[in-house]
Amino acid sequence: MLKLPETLRENVRLLGELLGETIHAHEGEELFSKVEGIRKLGKAINKAENGDSAPLVAMLSSLDDQSILPIVRAFNQFLNLANIADQEYFSSAEAEAEDKLQALIIELAAAQGKDALTELINKLRIELVLTAHPTEVTRRTLIRKYDQIVDTLADRQNPSLLVFEQDKLRGRLHRLVEEIWATDEIRTTRPTAVDEAKWGFAVIENSLWQAVPDFIRHLDRLTQRHLGAHLPVDIRPIKFYSWMGGDRDGNPNVTHKITREVLLLGRWMAAELYSRDVYSLGGDLSMSEASDELRARYPDSTTPYRDAMYDLRQRIQSTLEWAEARLQGRSVEVPADLITSREDLLAPLMLCFRSLNDVGLPHIANGPLVDTIRRVHCFGINLVPLDVRQDGDRHVQAIDELVQYLEIGDYRAWSEEERQAFLLEALTSKRPLMPASWPMSDETAEVLATCRVVAQEPREILSHYVISMAQQPSDVLAVALLLKESGMTWNMPVVPLFETLDDLDRAPIVMERLWNLEWYQQYSAQQQTVMIGYSDSAKDAGKLAATWAQYKAQEKLVALADKFAVSLVLFHGRGGTVGRGGGPVEKAMASQPPGSVKGRIRVTEQGEMIRYKFGLPRVAFSSLSSYVTATLRATVSPNAAPKQEWRDLIERMGKASLEAYRAVVRGHKDFVPYFRNLTPEQELSLLALGSRPAKRKSTGGVESLRAIPWVFAWTQVRLNLPAWLGTRQAFEYALQNDPQLLEDMISNWAFFSSFLDLLEMVIGKADGPICTYYEQQLVPVEYRGLGEELRGDLKALETLINTMKKQDVLLADEPMLRQSLEVRKPYVDPLNYLQAELLKRYRSSETISPDLERALKVTMAGIAAGMRNTG
């Protein structure tokens, strides 16, 4: 068996040792001994061929109430510390990502030609949209301490450290571990939408602010070295956007006031960061020799660059003070020198850049000054332009109320053709449709207030208007009309989001009808973003059927866009987990339909995955490199379109999977009570995870539950059902009907092999015996038959995957992952057993002590840490 790398193993051992010392010092010998006893039993079970969990369960059952909370906290923190060691190791191994990018550039330069590749790199547009889905379990205060541990572990790798320096760093680690132990890991209050936005801004400030210019500088060196060309100073291959404070779909806590506040907060934060940069540049740019252009601006100055930076900083300071006053609710005049566009920032920076090059100081020109210029191009004047997202039915409701008030008719009752005719007439009319004042519902008032906020703000700080559950062309036209009637002066891109299986199947028809409209052709200027929903389609149809539907929809949309000469960007609404479309970037991009990337892609980065991918500068650098590498590869050498026989077989497999999935989730009479009893779905509300409710509607069953808590709940009990249910039947169908063709698909179709690899990872994280224990503790006997069926499905699926991949054990070709899961298992399993016991107590008693309720919440956080994701 492959061992974990020595550095990683040593860091895990060291952090575990420090945690043990801390527990011993703070909780005493007796509790420390209990923790050690539980840990050793967990390891013994893991090492045995058929480990008996009875001794561990017996020991856990014998714990007194006072011991449960500190023991749960101990195992939770060990898992967090193991994740930190992982993060440090892989952040130190970012050379692998650098090597992949360099090797690809060399390869593509030989195949495509240096000029063609240079042009492609200059045109790259990778848009990463930060979203605040409630999956980040860890408190921000602890995240900061974890980041400090990563930095300290990295410092310890310096081979030239003296003994006292090593001791000093170990002492710092011990202090941080003690700080973590003395800090409550569970939030007591739910974060607001503004808090979530601040968290997103903090990721930019602490990591991306440095990582983005560092990466572009590295890319520039690679292109210079292998393509003989410098990258332009205004290049921005990767740009960040946000839904934090703009995503109101099913979240009543995101109002027009919140959106306005978040936009303002972004401008304030950007001004703060640029102020620091420009102050530093003023100190660096002390030279006096300048171009005639700069001299003309400062004719009598001996330090014209400093003067230029001083003037720019004054403008930034005015903007900072104005934004701060507005955030505090004070009424202030808009300063004459307010920064309202990136050009306000770029003009003096570029003036200095040109001057330094003109007078023969290119190394100074291409130093920190270029880094700041590239930050302006990437982050603009509010760090992340905001998307607005709203449920499509809210717009229908607003138009319907308006039409009924004007006594024009009943909009909801109209056919699609009638709706389009009305909307197009209103859109082309010079007369306003909407009265200054008219009676409307609170929901419609909020929709219109949001549109007015969007219309009043600078164009640069906004991005797209996304329509959830888009179903018809009129859904897009309705948004355009509401924006027009609210005073919009520019054509904000409207993005339909196709989420359910039916919506995905209908997406090409909807877009063809939309692109056939002459008015819309002019409005969109032949530019279109279409969003593909991964979470809700998988929840609706099961992973296999949804994944194939997503692929087909993208294929058809790409072909249609080519037919209409539309520049199409596919916006992938991926979640953190496999069940919600997550997975490694390289696999995701390689499995896209040919022609769907073309140097441009838009992807959501959700919840805790933002921290895992971008929380530290070195990790962010590696993630940016992976995105550029994968996008270049998918653009220049996409995988070929699938053979017709592959398509025919996976179509039939998808139908078998869909039928099996829905037969359980929708058709089995015991499914809902089994789900509700087995999982902590209802207890998840105890965790103050995010500003958004777990349900889109306050009523309804599983169908109204959001995809995130749906996945989270199944992950907690280690069944991971959303990612695999229905796939056994699909694979059995293929193996029975055409095993050779299935083998061909596995070997030669990246889309399918990627699906299989991700499925294998999910099954590798599942644990049938743990799920059985939950069932025995929590599920009434009359519902347990379904559990036996599901676990039988899971076991059969594991066998099928090993058969299809011709291996003896799961994850045979992923030994690092397999070893990592084995290291975590002795620490996750006790949390599962204790969680099941705590859930039983919580549900059977009218009261539970505050410490035990907190312990229950800590088990949720700990299991999430052990599985490395939540929703």
Catalytically active residues, by annotation: 133, 539
Instruction: For residues 509 and 472, give the distance between their C-alpha atoms in angstroms, rounded to a whole number.
Output: 9
E strand spans, 369-490: 386-391, 462-468
Q: Are 677 and 778 in contact (CB under 8 A)?
A: yes
| End-to-end Cα, the chain, rounded Å | 31
Instruction: Work out the number of other CB atoms within 10 angstroms of the CB of residue 192.
Output: 16
Pick from 524, 650, 530, 544: which is nearest to 602 by CA?
530
Instruction: For residues 569 and 624, give the distance between their C-alpha atoms in angstroms, rounded to a whole number.
Output: 19
| Burial of 518 (C-beta count, 10 Å sphere; 0-12/13-18/19+) | exposed
Instruction: For residues 815 and 822, give the distance between their C-alpha atoms in angstroms, rounded to a whole number.
Output: 10
List the structure tokens of 5: 């790398």
Partners of 242 in the beta sheet? 130, 386
Helices (H) and strands (E) in the chain, counts: 37, 8
E strand spans, 431-580: 462-468, 494-498, 527-533, 567-573
Instruction: For residues 700 and 426, give the distance between their C-alpha atoms in angstroms, rounded to a whole number.
Output: 37
Amino acid found at 776: Q
List the structure tokens of 88: 């440090």
List the structure tokens of 493: 């891109």
List the structure tokens of 394: 């809210």
Residue with tokens 């500190």: 70
Instruction: Work out the number of other CB atoms within 10 angstroms of the CB of residue 691.
Output: 23
Pick from 12, 7, 9: which is nearest to 158 by CA?
7
E strand spans, 504-612: 527-533, 567-573, 600-606
Half-sphere exposure of 259 (CA within 13 A, CB side): 30
Q: Are 707 and 871 in contact (CB under 8 A)?
A: yes
User: Long-range contacts: 640-645, Cβ < 8 Å, 24+?
Assistant: 640/594, 641/555, 641/593, 641/594, 642/749, 642/751, 645/741
Phi, psi of 582 (to 5 degrees): -75, 175
Instruction: For residues 207 and 201, give the distance between their C-alpha atoms in angstroms, rounded to a whole number.
Output: 10
Instruction: Work out the number of other CB atoms within 10 angstroms of the CB of residue 124.
Output: 19
List the structure tokens of 240: 């960040």
List the structure tokens of 236: 């921005």
| Burial of 159 (C-beta count, 10 Å sphere; 0-12/13-18/19+) | exposed
List the structure tokens of 792: 């039988």
- Helix H, strand E, coil C: the string for 749-804 is CHHHHHHHHHHHHHHHHCCHHHHHHHHHHHCCHHHHHHHHHHHHHHHHHHHHHHHH
Pick from 48, 86, 136, 28: which is nearest to 829 by CA?
48
Half-sphere exposure of 793 (CA within 13 A, CB side): 23
DSSP class of residue 195?
H
Partners of 362 in the beta sheet? none
Length, in residues, of the chain: 871
Instruction: For residues 365 and 290, give the distance between their C-alpha atoms in angstroms, rounded to a whole number.
Output: 12
Q: Are 543 and 579 in contact (CB under 8 A)?
A: yes
DSSP annotation string for 435-452: -SS----HHHHHHHHHHH
- Greatest Cα pair distance, the chain, in angstroms, is 90
